[in-house]
Chains A and B, each alone.
Chain A
Amino acid sequence: MNPIKIFKAGNDAENNAAESIWYENWLLLKKNRSAMFGLYIIIFFVFLAVFAPVVAPFDPYLQNIDLRKMTYFSWPYILGTDDFGRDILSRIIYGSRISLVIGFFAVSISLVFGSLIGLISGFYGGWFDRISMRVIDIMLAFPYILLTIVIVALLGPTLLNAMIAIGIARLPQYTRIMRASVLAEKEAEYVEAERSLGVGNMELMFMSILPNCLAPIIVQATLGVGSAIIESAALSFLGLGAQPPTPEWGLMIASAREFVSNAWWIVTFPGIAIVLVVLGFNLLGDGIRDVLDPRLKD
């Protein structure tokens, strides 16, 4: 083995150490009851999403004119039916597929691109840093809800575009967090040590500095999935996301708006699904933050 490699992340001893840190963190997280409760909620919805065809009692698109606006607990339509006679429970179960996928991918967009820009900006500085920070400042000058709505209105109202818009509008937060931690980490002694051993910039950036900057980004991303789910539902609610007859939660609420006076359950149940799933991500995110960054506890 090359003697230089001994000092680098990637050999067995350090890998074990790194593993044990993550394992230790997991043990700490496991003790946090509310975080675990959040995780169980998420697992439950992931299960629903994956096994939707098996779990859902009916076809979410199946209309039945004779069974319109059936009230809740009217067997076999446990949560009732909507104005087209479609089973609400089945639509909520299928809706979990859409919401989880959108939440996950929207966050991935801002996570990957935001962190990358932040990493390069912080590490190299110079013109790239100046330009990207100016652009980020301008993006942050828009309230992000407005920015999301404008981007999606320009791209066209589809679910995919809603996801992209949420991803772009949330990107500056990740860039800022990443850049701040990289700037702090760059001055650390281990970076200097590796540099003096001739470790290249790319390797330094991605193998040494990046892993040490992940903690705040992970927290932000976990909480971000919850907000992305709410935002995509809001866009669909405004007609700027999913289009009928997609069983999307926000759209289900929007299309039942006119029936608030005689069929409240059509509006209420999809909303409860949103609250539960988002609560799950928020509980888990708070728990992860307490573990990774004990300073922020309380």
Chain B
Amino acid sequence: MYRFILKRLGLLIPTLFGVITLVFFMLALSPGEPARVILGERANKEAVEKMNAELGLDKPMHIQYVIYLKKVVQLDFGKSIKTGQNVIDEIKARFPATIELAIFSMILASVLGIFVGVISATKRYSFWDYASMFGALFGVSMPVFWLGLVLIIIFSVNLNLLPTGGRMDIRYYFTPITNFYILDGIIHIFKTGDPKVLGSALTHLILPAVTLATIPLAIIARITRSSMLEVLKQDYIKTARATGMSERKVVFKYALRNALLPVITVIGLQFGMLLAGAILTETIFAWPGIGKWLYHAIESRDFPAVQGGIIVISTCFVIINLFVDLLYSVINPKIRTE
């Protein structure tokens, strides 16, 4: 077991090294001078040269690369061209918003997805089964950005129930402590007894979370159903039924536990995807997370910010995937020897 973990951890470092290398050269070789982005198209040659020297861009490419590597290892991604702030600080300030959104979406997708999948499998070929599986197919066929806008049209514009974007009603002044607004809202209640902040945070979270949850929900429902069908065929389920155990107990205590194995893997992998998938959702709902920030950085060709953002998101993605792999090998020892 330890050898397996060590082997997987050993693979992590070259992969991350490759990610950083690829990101560096992709952006370094791309057209467009950062100095011109800062100074404007009409800046004279001397000013551009001076700015290049300041940014370290006058050095040969391989030297720049080595310097960049050294800095990245210390989590220094340089300063944003647009704002002049440290990229890592900008990321830190926005990460909680993205994590909060991703966690709530994933809870929603997992709970609903497993529920729908189990019901579909136990009532196979029923109306409910067909309806939910068609719904799941519909879910994966939908563009997220369109779904987000349709939800805004229905729930914000027509029914006037939920806000169209942002994380918090601007009327409420409060100092964020954790930057997870749900947590902050709860802390606020303890401090002042005022539930409005929590309420506002929750209502702002609903639409983006539902939008982001749709695709994972559909995938989880489908995988749960097929995994459950597989398990329900097994002999030990027949044995359990033969003992006269109630069907509910057979399904939830025996079948579901075993069927959840592949589902857990999918949930983990989807969570990694959500961090990146949030780019579209955050843009639509003006959610001040890392996805929306990265999108604006790409748009304004803010190279240090783009590099830093991609490296941070990909690193999280790789680590989550590794964690899922390890978790899976703990639950299912067969995989370790393969």
Which A residues contact B (CB, under 8 angstroms)?
134-135, 137-138, 141-143, 145-146, 149-151, 153-154, 226, 230, 233-234, 237-240, 250, 253, 257, 260-261, 264, 267-268, 270-271, 274-275, 278-279, 282-283, 286, 298
Contacts and interface: CB of A to CB of B under 8 A. Distances in A.
B276 A275 contact: no
A230 B298 contact: no
Contact of A298 (B15, B225, B299): B225
Contacts of B230: 298
Interface stretch (B82-90, B137-145, B194-202, B252-260): B137-145
B296 to A, nearest CB: 11
Contact of A279 (B138, B279, B318): B138
A153 B298 contact: yes
Given A141-B314, A143-B273, A298-B225, A234 B150 contact: no
Contacts of A282: 137, 140-141
B279 A145 contact: yes
B203 interface: no
Contacts of A270: 146
Nearest to A277: B141
B141 A234 contact: no
Contacts of B140: 282
15 contacts: A134-B18, A138-B22, A141-B318, A143-B275, A143-B314, A230-B143, A238-B295, A250-B143, A250-B145, A267-B149, A270-B146, A271-B142, A271-B143, A271-B146, A278-B142
Interface residues of B, number: 47
B153 A298 contact: no
Contacts of A267: 146, 149-150, 153
A8 to B, nearest CB: 34
A142 B279 contact: no
A278 B140 CA distance: 9
Nearest to A138: B18
B16 A141 contact: yes
B145 A234 contact: yes
Given A264-B157, A279-B137, A283-B137, A233 B26 contact: no
A259 to B, nearest CB: 10
A282 B134 CA distance: 11
B268 interface: no
Contacts of A134: 14, 18
A74 B321 CA distance: 52
Contacts of B157: 260-261, 264
A106 to B, nearest CB: 15
Contacts of B23: 150
Interface hub of A149, A233, A283 (most chain B Cβ within 10 A): A149
Contacts of A141: 15-16, 18-19, 314, 317-318
B55 interface: no
A253 B279 contact: no
B138 to A, nearest CB: 7
B19 to A, nearest CB: 5
Main SS at interface, chain B: helix
Contacts of A135: 18
A142 B141 contact: no
B317 A298 contact: no
A150 B276 CA distance: 12
Interface in B109-167: 137-138, 140-147, 149-150, 152-153, 157
B149 to A, nearest CB: 5
A153 B227 CA distance: 39
Nearest to A142: B314
A136 to B, nearest CB: 10
A146 B145 CA distance: 15
B310 interface: yes
A253 B23 CA distance: 31
Given A143-B276, A146-B276, A150-B310, 8 more contacts: A142-B314, A143-B313, A145-B276, A145-B277, A226-B141, A238-B279, A250-B145, A268-B150
Contacts of B220: none
A264 to B, nearest CB: 5
Contacts of B16: 141
A148 to B, nearest CB: 10
Given A150-B306, A264-B157, A253 B314 contact: no
B78 interface: no
A122 B41 CA distance: 50
